[in-house]
Amino acid sequence: MNSRRARILPHVGAAVGDTPLVALDRLASGLPGRVAIKLEYFSPGGSIKDRPALACLEEAEAAGILKRGQWVVEKTSGNMGAGLAWACAVKGYRFVAVMSAGNTPERRRMIEAFGGTVVLVPQARGGTDGQVSREDLELVEAETARQVQKRRAFLPDQFNNPACVRAHERGTGREIWEQTAGAVSHFCSFAGTAGTISGVGRALKRRNPRIRIVVVEPKQAQTLAGKRVVSTSHVVQGGGYAMTPAIYDPSVVDATWPVSDRVALRTMRDLAREEGIMAGISTGANVACALALAAKAPRGSVIVTVACDTGLKYLSLDTQHRRDRR
């Protein structure tokens, strides 16, 4: 995007992408592979979802199915909602985020700060605060359908919209290739909608088919690995719902890697304390996987992952887990 070269960007949407890639040489010290993380929270909404949020709106505008002043409604765990909220504010659309009450309060407050409306859906019976299950998501889906019909709204439908994959194929994946000067040997990421793993996987495999693409899943819900689901309730928000997203491209994935809640939380804290990077729980899962790959990779390998969002969105949840352990 040429406007990105200007000293003054024309609008905040032009600030999406071109996020920094940072080495984790402290956490990966002594390992044969080098680990680098792409800081997606540098985008306006503070997450990797800013890319697909903007892409969904712009492709819908180009197709003539989204017009100024229209309602936009989306189910979200928070990050896509925040991305759509600021993008709708800039573009002149009214936005409604439908969320489970199990998501952290910081996420919904951020959406409201951007001028979006949050419809909060109570969790399914037996639900755990801070952990959104497949059953919780089904309730959110039903409410989303009601809101779309009620407002005659445009539904970005992030779990099924190929624009989400294209955003990462054209942006995130290309940037990783350029930032590593083609030296990237592995890429790993948690699969929510699977837009990131599919888009980045396509971009990197097209440039070098030998690059290994690894998808990260919650240990108790390894659907993409083809294993029996123990539970869809876990601390990693935004995915692991015991479902295979329609936009998931298994042809670019070489392996899966399970992560436990304990490891994801511990790595998230280590990332902040040792690298000065405050990111979320899914990022903790990503980095744990990247470190495991770096430990077994040939010397000189470059393992890349992503910081999906900022840890500022999880401070209340992390405090709760600290209390629970006492």
Could you say which of 205, 282, 301, 313 is catalytic? 282
Backbone φ and ψ of 274, nearest 5°: -105, -25
Dihedral angle sign, alpha carbons of residues 174, 180, 274, 194: positive
Query: Strand 21-23 relative to strand 34-39: parallel, antiparallel, unpaired?
Result: antiparallel
Which position has the token pair 């294209």?
Answer: 166
CB 120 within 8 A of CB 89: no
Cβ-contact 70, 94 below 8 angstroms? yes
The helix-helix angle for 281-296 and 261-275 (nearest 10°) equals 90
Confirm whether 47 is a catalytic residue: no
Answer left, alpha or beta for residue 176, where phi above 0 means left and psi between -120 and 50 means alpha: alpha
Active-site annotation holder among 38, 49, 75, 91: 49
Q: Tell me whether residue 231 is one of the annotated catalytic residues.
A: no
Q: Which residues, in sequence order, are CB contacts of 248 under 8 Å at separation 6+? A: 191, 194, 197, 198, 224
Active-site residues, by number, are 49, 282
